[in-house]
Structure formats: structure tokens, C-alpha cells
Amino acid sequence: MARKIEVVPYDPAWPGIFRQEAEIIQVILGANLINLHHVGSTAIPDLAAKPTIDMLIEVNNLAALDACNPTMVQFGYLPKGENGIPGRRYFQKLAGKMHLFHIHAFEKGHPDLARHLAFRDYLRAHPHEARAYQVLKQGLAARFPNEPQAYTSGKTDFIQAMNQRASAWRLLRDSKAPPPSSVDDLSS
């Protein structure tokens, strides 16, 4: 049986849980790590979400990351390779069927790095868009509680439209502001 999809109210502990796990990942990846960010719905204040912490990792070299797989396994992570996205390395940390952490890792310069961060930052800056996303997710979780694929597919059009708006917004914002810190999420 597939895992049950549950969208729960925002938990203010999520950023701290991210930071604790991020410290472990920093040690494992060492000098290969460039950036480590809290992304996904748990990174958006006041947004209801599946209680899974998503991490976005930028590394210098994917082969060096792959060499860390045995250590990642020792810390409870399941390496899933690209898992459908070329150039990505995906890891899951589970407790039974409950997904605790997902890691999406890319080599520096991969366009999905900017896409994930733009999506997160756009929702943080636009609470009305975050609320619309929350309503969609809650409706899909109620409709497809035991169908993760249907839940994910139901979000696709919204996410694609949001990615376009977020990308345009980020280009405009970045043209007016100094560059962000390279470890922006570890201090938040």
C-alpha cells in the first residue's frame, strides 16, 4: 500500500529540524558542498504541507556526491539516483512509510537550482499565492489520500504556472538587489 498523503498545518519547528539535519549533511559532503537550502512547502511560513523537509543541495561534483552514498545510507538516506530528473541526485530518509527528508542535489549551474529557489522565494513573498497552493494541496490530499501519483499530478499545472511567475519575479527582483548569501537558509 502506498503512503497516505496528509497535508498538515504549518509547524514552526520545521526550520529548526531542517537546520539540525543540514549540519549532518554538511559534515557528510564536506568540501564538495557549495550551498544547502530549505525548500518545498515546509520552507514557507504558515503554509500547510506534507511534513517532509525538502533540501536543495548544490555541489561541485556529482561523482563526489555519489561516492558519499554509503555514508548517506549509514545516516538513514536511500540514494535514488536521478529519479526521473537528469542531472539530479535524489535521496529519501524515511521512518517506516513516513517521509522525513527529501534531498534534491544538483551540480553547480544546474537550472533546477534557481527554479527551486525562485519558487520558494516567490511563495514567501506572495502569501496569497501560497494560500492558493495550500488550498489546492489540501483538496488533492482529501481527494487522493492513498494515491501519491494522483496528488502530485494534480499539482503539476499550478506548479508550472507558478514557476513561470516566480522566474519572472526573481529576474526583476535580482536586477534591483545585491546577490543573496551563499548559505542563506542555514542562518534562518
Domain-embedded: residue 78: yes
Output the pLDDT for position 173.
Answer: 85
Which CATH number fits the domain that encloses residue 121? 3.30.460.10
Block means of pLDDT (10 residues each) for the chain, 188 residues, are 86 98 98 98 97 98 98 98 97 95 98 96 96 97 95 96 94 75 48
Which residues on neighbouring strands pair with residue 59, listed in sequence order? 33, 107
The dihedral built from the CA positions of residue 84, 86, 76 and 26, taken in this order, carries a sign that is: negative
Question: Which residue do the cell numbers 517521509 mark?
Answer: 99
Output the pLDDT for position 174.
Answer: 81
Domain that holds residue 166: 14-174
The whole-model pTM stands at: 0.89
Cα–Cα dist 175/152, whole Å: 33
Closest of 53, 64, 2, 77 to residue 30, by C-alpha: 64
Output the pLDDT for position 50.
Answer: 96
Q: Computed over its alpha carbons, how large is the radius of gyration of the chain?
A: 16
CB of 58 closer than 8 Å to CB of 35: yes
- Grid cell at residue 56: 536543495
- Grid cell at residue 187: 542562518
Inter-axis angle of helices 127-143 and 148-174, nearest 10:
170
Q: Residue 183 class from Cβ within 10 Å (0-12 exposed, 13-18 middle, 19+ buried)?
A: middle
Domain-embedded: residue 188: no
Domain-embedded: residue 88: yes
Q: How many domains does the chain fold into? A: 1
Output the pLDDT for position 172.
Answer: 87
pLDDT digits (tens, 9 = 90+) for 42-77: 999 999 999 999 999 999 999 999 999 999 999 999
Domain-embedded: residue 97: yes
Domain-embedded: residue 7: no
Output the pLDDT for position 188.
Answer: 39
